[in-house]
Amino acid sequence: MTEVKLVCVSCPVGCELTVVLEGKEVVSVTGNRCPRGEEYARAEAVEPMRVLMTLVRVEDGRDRVVSVKTDRPIPLRLFPQAMDRVRELSVKAPVRIGTVIEKDFLSTDANLVTTRTAH
């Protein structure tokens, strides 16, 4: 069995959680003050998810890059592969905020969207 310590980020209280794992199975979660903490701990211990925020190259524009993010969290383990894909991408200026750069990014159901306008 392994024990993982986490801080719940689901609300500002920041409960300190302890997750006990048997292999990849969650045996117990303690330290949470509400069910959201257990849900967070189970997800975080087995498959951590994060929103990817990065920059994509802009072609033929005044701006050289535009900020982008996934519109939902994707598995953290995919971040190296995600950055490889992002380096291959570019958009033509102008591009408006909220433009989908790539749908179903890395087959995660998340879209990669611009978070500002670039000219």
Binders of ligand SF4 in range 17-56 (CB under 6 A): 32-34, 36-37
Q: In what order do the strands lie in the sheet with 16-22?
A: 2-7, 16-22, 25-30
Give the residue carrying structure tokens 């993982």. Answer: 4
- Judged by CB, which is closer to ligand SF4: 36, or 64? 36
Please name which of 18, 14, 21 lies closest in space to residue 6, comparing C-alpha atoms: 18
The count of residues interacting with ligand SF4 (CB under 6 A) is 11
- Judged by CB, which is closer to ligand SF4: 33, or 72? 33
Judge whether 93 and 60 are in contact, CB under 8 Å: yes
Distance, CA of 15 to CA of 46 (rounded, Å): 19
Give the one residue of 4, 10, 65, 93 binding ligand SF4; rule: CB under 6 A: 10
Give the one residue of 15, 29, 78, 106 binding ligand SF4; rule: CB under 6 A: 15
- Judged by CB, which is closer to ligand SF4: 37, or 74? 37
Please name which of 79, 77, 68, 74 lies closest in space to residue 107, comparing C-alpha atoms: 74
Summarize as ranges the residues that interact with ligand SF4 (CB under 6 A): 8, 10-11, 13-15, 32-34, 36-37
